[in-house]
Structure 1
Amino acid sequence: MYPDDLKYTAEHEWLRVPGEHEGSVRIGITHFAQDALGDIVYVSLPDVGDTVEAGST
């Protein structure tokens, strides 16, 4: 049910770290979060090239 290649947060978000020859991180939310939130109408992402640190909001 939970893919081994995903990292999860306590807030029901996940990310897939790229492999050696990939350049992007993929992010998403769990099925639980999808059910709880309903339709997603807004997402705020960092700009391309920004550094993201663990624990930041």
Structure 2
Amino acid sequence: MTKTFTIKDGQVPTPEQLEEVRAAAKREIQFDEDSPELSPAMFKAFRCSVAQRNRNKKNA
């Protein structure tokens, strides 16, 4: 299950929200048919596309 928090500028997260984030960070990623684990080649391609996207954002 995915849970989303929206924190606006200047807003401080509650202690409960921080604890949920810390607990989620300790859990393992669970892959399934909708989000399979990436192969090393796919992971490399993904990293390259993210780097290119970030370079384009800086130039805009």
What TM-score bracket applies, with the shorter chain setting the length? under 0.3
**Greater helix content:** 2
The TM-score, its normalising length taken from structure 2, stands at 0.23
**TM-score between the two structures when normalised by the length of structure 1:** 0.23
Q: Give the structure with the higher percent strand.
A: 1
Kindly name which structure, 1 or 2, has the bigger radius of gyration based on alpha carbons: 2
